[in-house]
Structure 1
């Protein structure tokens, strides 16, 4: 477990915290591995009834760490990112997220695999893949349209525009918006689920997701293949150079 991903068990809820706030919780390969380990731990631990994914009350996740990401040569099944995504899409227990501040790239697409999401006012969601010369990931080419409808999925994925927690709520991406204390609210929601019969929770989640489970898994691998191709292309390299020069 990396120092940038921590876990704590509280009343049946495994709180998985992104703890790299100085980098807005941008994910590295090591952090993906740690997240996979946390979900695997939760899956096998009978004491864990639900999982809450969070940052803090100022920041959730600004996407991938681009400097780390540029070293990526492969997105095979054993790569840290693909291991995380396949573990995520197959995760059986209730998964919740508490979102504050930026939720960019994977910071938004991970929410498509969550069963309940609460966001703080001022949270900002964005899928800037095309602007970086890349394509949708984490199954979002399939799951986003199923969640918010085809028209809005087209808008968010193709234009890469940012949108607010209020718009995310209106479109059905998230479940609730709170003024403050989003992590405490998320934990309270998770604890409520943790008190319910576990078998019924897991069975109901499986039934809800069964109609699009196979399609979502296929999309993850199809996207990964195209993602690597685009990552190695001139458009992406130029877009990332421009990003660093602006920063």
Structure 2
């Protein structure tokens, strides 16, 4: 069974993380599958909306540290960057459904989706600095802009987690619901009934003021992130993480 499942139903494409035994930790291969699905949906005349969701108790534990240690995505155009670019540039509607842990990019990708729903069990966390890294996917700009610098500093610099209830209060997600996957499907079906070109044009207008600025910020974040991956500071943090995980 694939670690990422792609399903098409009418105008809706679902991208489902399917590595529940590993808390849906993301490998380079999984990023590639997700990027390809988004790029295909972007040009498909049959698709109006994409749902990103996950099987199991958790949305994602973030990047698979072992995979990143053994095969760090240091090259230009890596699978990680392909996914980041595909979601950032996705012209149609993107909906994310979250439950359990949403770590690292599991939180940052939420800011690039048009609708986001989370279960009461959800815990968001971005422990980039804790791992000797820097924020990615535009989060160094999007979070301070959305929730204020001081609150963002607690989350991005100290690695503080936050709940679905807080995420609603801060405008990070639309709503806290018992069954986020069901809610995402309901909203997707509503979107699928709307005129597709009007949706695309309206989304483009809403995002255009920040679009190019975000491209520059994400490139700067990506350069620093890849450089940080090779530092002794990050390597030690990764090894400590794996040792704690193995206990």
TM-score category, normalised to shorter length: over 0.9
How big is each residue's C-alpha offset from its partner over 1:73-132, in whole Å with a ceiling of 9 and x where there is no partner?
Answer: 454432111111111111100001000001000000011100000000110100000000
- The structural deviation recorded for 1:9 is 1.5
Task: Show the counterpart of 2:188.
Answer: 190
Aligned mates of 1:67, 1:126 — CA distance in 2: 19
Task: Show the counterpart of 2:160.
Answer: 161
Aligned mates of 1:79, 1:58 — CA distance in 2: 28
Q: Using structure 1 for the length normalisation, give the TM-score.
A: 0.95
Equivalent residue pairs, number: 245
**192-201 or 53-62: which moved more?**
53-62
How big is each residue's C-alpha offset from its partner over 1:20-76, in whole Å with a ceiling of 9 and x where there is no partner?
Answer: 111111100000100011001101111111000000362111100000011344544
How big is each residue's C-alpha offset from its partner over 1:135-176, in whole Å with a ceiling of 9 and x where there is no partner?
Answer: 001111112222222222222101101111111111111001
Task: Show the counterpart of 1:93.
Answer: 92
- Segments of 5+ residues of structure 2 without an aligned counterpart are none
Task: Show the counterpart of 1:16.
Answer: 15
Task: Show the counterpart of 1:233.
Answer: 231
SS in 1 for 2:157: helix
Task: Show the counterpart of 1:46.
Answer: 45
SS in 1 for 2:70: coil
Instruction: Please provide the CA RMSD for this pair.
Output: 1.3
How big is each residue's C-alpha offset from its partner over 1:190-247, in whole Å with a ceiling of 9 and x where there is no partner?
Answer: 1111111111111111011101111111111111111122111111111111111111
Task: Show the counterpart of 2:125.
Answer: 126
Task: Show the counterpart of 2:62.
Answer: 63
SS in 2 for 1:159: coil
- Segments of 5+ residues of structure 1 without an aligned counterpart are none
Q: Is the 8 A contact 2:20 2:56 kept in 1?
A: no
Q: Using structure 2 for the length normalisation, give the TM-score.
A: 0.95
Q: Within 5 Å, which residues of 2 pair with 1:162-181?
A: 162-179=161-178, 181=179
- The structural deviation recorded for 1:11 is 3.4
